Amino acid sequence: MTGKADLDRVWTVPNVLSAARLAISLACFIAIERAAWGPALGLFLAAASTDWVDGWWARRFGQVSRLGRIFDPLVDKVLVCGAFVLLAARGEASAIAPWMAVVVVVRELVVTAVRAEMERAGHDFSAGLSGKLKMLLQCAAVAMELAARTWPEAVFAGIGMRTAATGMAWAAVALTAWSGGDYLAKAAARVVSKRG
């Protein structure tokens, strides 16, 4: 059982990992801006991998904290939204179109606002399966786009890396929109059940 003192802790391993992920994300953004695709890919993969580690650590060693519940998803959004926006801005050669970046950013803003309101009202509104799968596909789309820029002639699963990256970007955006609708439907159902 987690006590109040535990929930108020700041310097936990998961929170330190989230802070490191934020720093790595910023370094990744600089690499993207400089068209240093290989380093950007390595930095992105390093940042994305710490997301799984800090969540596992928090649950395994009972280091869940109030700060972590806010900070971890915030850093995830910075990493994914920042990468989508910067890659979309690279022009027609990008598998990630500007409208895709808009869908991703708007979904994250709306769900963050709804989650904050639901938790303020006393509802547990942690990430569900659709949100976790959405994050996985978004990270895969960014990683494949960076890989396509690093090795433009490479072939993935029998198709060109650029084609594979484009397909993954479409899949990620479709799941992003679907998971956003899923979260809104769950929030509405909880509000209705509370009134009832």
pLDDT above 90 coverage of the chain, percent: 50
pTM score, two decimals? Answer: 0.86
Cα separation, 24 vs 49, whole angstroms? 11
Domain of 40, CATH number, reads: 1.20.120
40-99 pLDDT, tens per residue? 999 999 999 887 777 666 667 666 666 666 778 889 999 999 999 999 998 768 899 999
Can you give the pLDDT at residue 57? Answer: 65
Can you give the pLDDT at residue 64? Answer: 65
Distances from the Cα of 132 to the Cα of 167, 175, 194, angstroms: 19, 10, 26
Backbone angles phi, psi at 3, to 5 degrees: -90, 175
Note down the domain range covering 133: 4-195
- Total domain count for the chain? 1
Does residue 4 surpass a pLDDT of 50?
no
Q: How confident is the model at residue 5 (pLDDT cuts 50, 70, 90)?
A: very low
The overall average pLDDT reported for the chain is: 85
Can you give the pLDDT at residue 108? Answer: 92
Q: Which residue has the higher pLDDT, 115 or 195?
A: 115
Can you give the chain as a three-state secondary structure string? CCCHHHHCCCCCHHHHHHHHHHHHHHHHHHHHHCCCHHHHHHHHHHHHHHHHHHHHHHHHCCCCCHHHHHHHHHHHHHHHHHHHHHHHCCCCCCCCCHHHHHHHHHHHHHHHHHHHHHHHCCCCCCCCHHHHHHHHHHHHHHHHHHHHHHCCCCEECCEEHHHHHHHHHHHHHHHHHHHHHHHHHHHHHHHHHHHC
Q: Which residue has the higher pLDDT, 101 or 186?
A: 101
